[in-house]
Structure 1
């Protein structure tokens, strides 16, 4: 019984983090200038407006609607998400895109794998896709980062096409590292290393260490 209570309490904590993250990002989106919405994000081929549209897709589309969209994309999830993001980014105003995120703050949507921690990761990483690309110095709260950093697994790295062979990630601002202790260190802020683990390439100057060039440059992830 104690373990069940603990799990329920932890789930409630993560859901509260999700709601806070969505509200904060909605406020940030509301404050963007018109031109910033058309700037490229860290997601390949997506501007800020496509990322913002994508972030609320999971709780704007019903399951039947999602399955229809997936069928229309030939069962290819990445093709579906790209098409829906582009369509909704063009059809909705920027005020609507921000409002969708705020209004869905407590929506129980989760990705197909990973539960609420994965939903938190979806929001945090896509938020960073926007803020890092725009040069906005938003710091994700430590408690949210620790949930996500603790969840990094080889399977997730493979999904995002991240090769950490011979590399150790070392955070400058948290007591956290990942990878073989004998690996060549790549150092940076914890939230930048999180982006790296989700397949993002960082702007120059954000990472340090000999292998850091492997993770710097053109964006290559959209999930």
Structure 2
């Protein structure tokens, strides 16, 4: 199994500026939304666009100690904890919720996990929101590859995509990323990241000899 390591660093001085830029970009993209658009179902089952924004804010505010306390309160149920966080951060007015993301934009806190999780959250949830709204963003491919590197080595039980990636050679076509053994599945890093994160993607986003079966397995 190989990995081409020509990717962005996971050092705080690299990750946090990238995360902060994604938060700024999301604010810019969401400011023009009409009230009805906020109710658009996201790629996260059961959550609309407004819910995902509230989750992004909740995640940005999370501290290591706070995360541990919350896990105890939710009896180690991640879904329950996420639901509580969304309810806490979601306001009746989506515009006011968006202001809360602006207030949390420069935060550098997070749960007790690798900094790669911050990039995963930024990119995957960005697409959870943008894709259903028809909004396109060109993500920084090297940073997406860093997030992808984290996901393919993290169990699905911990929010990763290791089991989904197993048995395939995943190759990014827009940056240096080559992971695994098996039939090759090729495409932009963001499409590969979404796929191993359990999100639906279009058939034409991935190519290579392994793509047809991989996509069938995913969809």
Q: TM-score, normalised by structure 2?
A: 0.79
Report the alpha carbon displacement of residue 131 of structure 1 after superposing the two structures with TM. 1.3
Q: Match for 1:210 among 205, 209, 212?
A: 212
Change (3 A) 1:146 1:66: closer
Match of 1:105?
Answer: 105
Question: Retained in 2: the 8 A contact 1:26–1:102?
Answer: yes
SS in 2 for 1:129: helix
Which range moved further: 133-142 or 158-167? Answer: 158-167
- Residue pair 2:141, 2:174 contacting (<8 A) in 1 also: no
Deviation at 1:94, TM superposition (A): 1.1
RMSD: 2.8
Alignment of 1:149-168 (within 5 A): 149-157=148-156, 159=158, 160=160, 162-168=163-169
**Secondary structure of 2:185's partner?**
strand
Q: After alignment, is 160-169 or 20-29 more displaced? A: 160-169
Describe the shift of the 1:139–1:110 C-alpha distance in structure 2 as closer, same or farther (beyond 3 A): same
Three-state SS of the structure 2 residue aligned to 1:155 is coil
**Is the counterpart of residue 185 in structure 1 residue 184 in structure 2?**
yes
Q: Unpaired segments of 5 or more residues in structure 1?
A: 1-7, 217-223
CA contact (8 A) 2:63 2:109 kept: no
TM-score (norm 1): 0.78
Q: CA deviation at 1:107?
A: 0.6
Partner of 2:3: none
Change (3 A) 1:110 1:66: closer
Equivalent pairs counted in the alignment come to: 205
What is aligned with 1:5? Answer: none
